[in-house]
């Protein structure tokens, strides 16, 4: 079964720290992987999309990496700010499928 | 970028009534749309995949007679929750995939802002 797992479920760090969120998937045959942010009661905001052929993508203070062979992706957030507090979701589109399979999310709190 | 809208953003209804939620791709044609459900503090659960002009494909455990999906055009899909009950209260999110945007083909899923359904 194709599954996506995110650990930890929750993370709390002081402002200014660099941090890493983890995402793992059970099948290395993926089409792409996407990281989203979700604020409470709101929809999803796409942060980064990594195609199967890519190793990483960067946007501002965010950097996402992809290692298909080990079934892992990481989202690196540099110099964290209280405004980064949200739930971060990892989603994988596996080969041969159109749908996204979501991880359970990591609820991030940045303390001032 | 590509924009997906949902209407209404919030709806409260009485038990036993039906509620329709619309999902529109505003500036691109969506060959495929997806409907997700999200419980509080949980991740998104795919309910069904709809392709324009054909019947929706429902995920295991989702009642197709209760959650009616219609994808009548390349820019509109609707989800109707029939005979709603309090346990149907949830956050419903749609996404749209594919089609032409600004002359180029886009193969990314774009998400709507969600609809909060409360059934009393």
Say whether residue B60 is in contact with chain A using an 8 A CB cutoff: no
Q: Do A43 and B42 touch (CB under 8 A)?
A: no
pLDDT-derived band at A41, boundaries 50, 70, 90:
confident
Q: How many CB atoms neighbour CB A94 within 10 A?
A: 21
CB A32 within 8 A of CB A23: no
Say whether residue B117 is in contact with chain A using an 8 A CB cutoff: no
Contacts of B24 in chain A (CB under 8 A): none
Asked if the peptide bond before residue A34 counts as cis, ω within 30 degrees of 0, the response is no
Which range has the worst mean pLDDT, A65-69, A72-76, A83-87, A98-102?
A98-102
The residue ranges of chain B whose pLDDT is under 70 are 1, 98-107
* pLDDT at site B16: 97
Q: Do B43 and A89 touch (CB under 8 A)?
A: yes
CB B44 within 8 A of CB B119: no
Distance from CA of B17 to the nearest CA of A (A): 24
Structure tokens at B91: 């956050």
């Amino acid at each position: 079964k194709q599954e996506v797992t995110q650990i930890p479920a929750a993370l709390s760090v002081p402002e200014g720290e660099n941090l890493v969120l983890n995402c793992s998937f059970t099948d290395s045959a993926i089409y792409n992987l996407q990281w989203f942010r979700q604020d409470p009661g709101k929809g999803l905001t796409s942060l980064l999309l990594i195609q199967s052929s890519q190793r990483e993508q960067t946007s501002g203070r965010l950097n996402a990496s992809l290692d298909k062979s080990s079934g892992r992706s990481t989202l690196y957030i540099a110099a964290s700010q209280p405004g980064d507090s949200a739930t971060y979701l990892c989603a994988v589109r596996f080969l041969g499928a159109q749908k996204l399979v979501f991880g359970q999310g990591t609820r991030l709190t940045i303390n001032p | 970028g590509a924009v997906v809208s949902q209407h209404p953003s919030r709806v409260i209804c009485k038990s036993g009534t039906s509620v329709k939620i619309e999902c529109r791709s505003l500036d691109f044609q969506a060959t495929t749309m997806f409907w997700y459900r999200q419980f509080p503090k949980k991740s998104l659960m795919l309910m069904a995949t709809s392709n324009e002009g054909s019947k929706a494909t429902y995920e295991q455990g989702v009642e197709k007679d209760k959650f009616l999906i219609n994808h009548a055009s390349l820019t509109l899909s609707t989800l109707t929750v029939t005979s709603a009950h309090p346990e149907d209260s949830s956050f419903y999110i749609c996404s749209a995939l594919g089609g032409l945007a600004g002359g180029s083909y886009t193969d990314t899923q774009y998400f709507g802002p969600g609809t909060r359904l409360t059934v009393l």
